[in-house]
A = this chain, B = another copy of it.
Amino acid sequence: MYAFSNAVNSMHSEDIKRLLKQSSGNNMISFAGGMPNNDLFPVKQIDEIYDALPINLKKLCFQYGAASGYPPLVRSLKSYLHKKGLPIDIDKILITTGSLQAISIITQEFVNKGDIILTENPSFVGALSVFETYEAEIHGIPIDKDGIDIEALKQKIASLDKTPKLLYVTPNFHNPAGIIYTPERKKALLEVLSNTGIILIEDDAYSDLYFNEEDKYLTKPMKSYGLADVEIIYTGSFSKILGPGFRLGYMLSSPEIFEKAETVKQALDACTSNFMQILANEFLSQHKLDPYLKFLRFEYRDRKNILQQSLIKYMPEEVIWNEPKGGFYIWLKLPEYVSSTDVFKESVEKGVVFVTGRTFDPSSKKDDRIRLSFSNMPKDTIEKGVKILSKVIKKALKSIPSETV
């Protein structure tokens, strides 16, 4: 069994966990947490919804629900997913206790100890932790600014002596890499998987959080492409568009996969909270999501812009990155000889935290990256944080690494 740390700080090194613990409660500037901003939650909207709930619906909040989900929420989700072009007439929706539970269910459904799972490298640490808990053999495939490396993926599949069970990807506003796949890359990925029997998990927690309308078309899910010869399980979450505290996610899959998943779901926690599902359903059905998303996109774009400008202003030229088109993250690239874990140790002493690159590497090695999350950052501390971090990095660049002496 594999020990990993709190989902909030999205790290799995005991060392870093300890450092973060020491630092919490101080005036630490944190680029670490991959969570939404406390001050941006739709508290007022949920207050209004709760106050107006009829008594019968309130009573239902307290009761058990169906394992597959609260039927009105399933209907609301259908219409939400239909707008994304997803095949909601044939495939079925299972409501889960957060989208991590969906990943857990899929893993339990398809993966036995020692089975192979392919992921991006870097990849979402929550998913990596699930795969490791189920004792899968994880192989990471590199990504570039346009998506997963197609040649590397082909070679990996060809080199393995058994077929991987799953490929897990987060194509839209990747955590941690901040990229979005191009449509061409999405198509190429589907072509590689075609008729291989490898099930694709398309995890899409961030697609509503694009910064500019003209980039919206990029978020179109692969599952909406209509390719029949790749089995795709699409997973989504309310964590980024309502709040992680609701623990609401869902998966959209073929009826066959749905049916087994429902059984696993029932054994994991019987059903998802009616209370949370009823509030979420009112949020969707009362058309509160669209105006709220408009507000969120503006707020997160604003933070991204400040971070981007600050990085341009302060970072040495050896540090490079792609400006994200949406999501929560900027993924800095350091020269190979600088370890982000070393930078972290110095940086935390100076009052700035982030998540180290190797946290997101399935083999916990590659460490020339820094994940900066701007989502939960007060706007007026971003520049200050970058200034401090850039100083630490500049110092690290100057110290000639021992291997190169």
A288 within 8 Å of B (CB atoms): no
A264 within 8 Å of B (CB atoms): yes
- Interface residue range, chain A: 35 or more
A216 within 8 Å of B (CB atoms): no
Question: Is A271 touching B7 in the complex (CB atoms < 8 A)?
Answer: yes
- A103 to nearest B CB, angstroms? 9
Query: How far, in whole Å, are A129 and B263 apart by their CA atoms in the complex?
Result: 9
Query: How far, in whole Å, are A63 and B36 apart by their CA atoms in the complex?
Result: 8
Q: Interface on A for B, CB 8 Å cutoff?
A: 1-4, 6-8, 35-36, 38-39, 41-43, 46-47, 50, 55, 58-67, 96-98, 100-101, 104, 108-109, 126, 129-130, 132-134, 239, 242-247, 260, 263-264, 266-276
Question: Is A264 touching B38 in the complex (CB atoms < 8 A)?
Answer: no
Question: Is B43 touching A62 in the complex (CB atoms < 8 A)?
Answer: yes
**Which chain B positions have C-beta within 8 A of A132?**
267
Query: How far, in whole Å, are A276 and B35 apart by their CA atoms in the complex?
Result: 19
Task: Give the residue of B61, B96, B104, B126 whose beta carbon is less than 8 angstroms from that of A243.
Answer: B61
Query: How far, in whole Å, are A66 and B60 apart by their CA atoms in the complex?
Result: 27
- Measured CB to CB, the nearest residue on chain B to A262 is B3
Task: Give the residue of B36, B58, B263, B269 whose beta carbon is less than 8 angstroms from that of A247.
Answer: B269
- Measured CB to CB, the nearest residue on chain B to A129 is B267
Query: How far, in whole Å, are A254 and B66 apart by their CA atoms in the complex?
Result: 33
Query: How far, in whole Å, are A42 and B276 apart by their CA atoms in the complex?
Result: 17
**Which chain B positions have C-beta within 8 A of A59?**
38-39, 41, 43
Query: How far, in whole Å, are A64 and B247 apart by their CA atoms in the complex?
Result: 8
- A134 to nearest B CB, angstroms? 8
Give this chain's copy count: 2
Question: Is A3 touching B269 in the complex (CB atoms < 8 A)?
Answer: no
The 8 closest A-B pairs by CB, nearest first: A62-B243, A245-B274, A133-B267, A41-B62, A7-B270, A101-B269, A247-B273, A62-B245
**Known: A43-B55, A264-B133, A275-B246. Contact between A270 and B62, CB under 8 A?**
no
Question: Is B35 touching A60 in the complex (CB atoms < 8 A)?
Answer: no
**Known: A59-B38, A272-B247. Contact between A263 and B3, CB under 8 A?**
yes
**Which chain B positions have C-beta within 8 A of A104?**
267-269
Question: Is B64 touching A245 in the complex (CB atoms < 8 A)?
Answer: yes
**Which chain B positions have C-beta within 8 A of A100?**
267-270
Query: How far, in whole Å, are A46 and B245 apart by their CA atoms in the complex?
Result: 17
Question: Is B266 touching A67 in the complex (CB atoms < 8 A)?
Answer: no
**Known: A1-B260, A43-B55, A266-B4. Contact between A63 and B133, CB under 8 A?**
no
- Measured CB to CB, the nearest residue on chain B to A101 is B269
Query: How far, in whole Å, are A55 and B46 apart by their CA atoms in the complex?
Result: 12
Most chain B CB inside 10 Å of its own CB: which residue of A97, A260, A270, A274: A270
Query: How far, in whole Å, are A266 and B130 apart by their CA atoms in the complex?
Result: 8
Query: How far, in whole Å, are A243 and B63 apart by their CA atoms in the complex?
Result: 6
Query: How far, in whole Å, are A1 and B55 apart by their CA atoms in the complex?
Result: 39
- A378 to nearest B CB, angstroms? 14
**Which chain B positions have C-beta within 8 A of A266?**
4, 6-7, 129
- Measured CB to CB, the nearest residue on chain B to A65 is B245
**Known: A55-B43, A263-B2. Contact between A38 and B63, CB under 8 A?**
yes
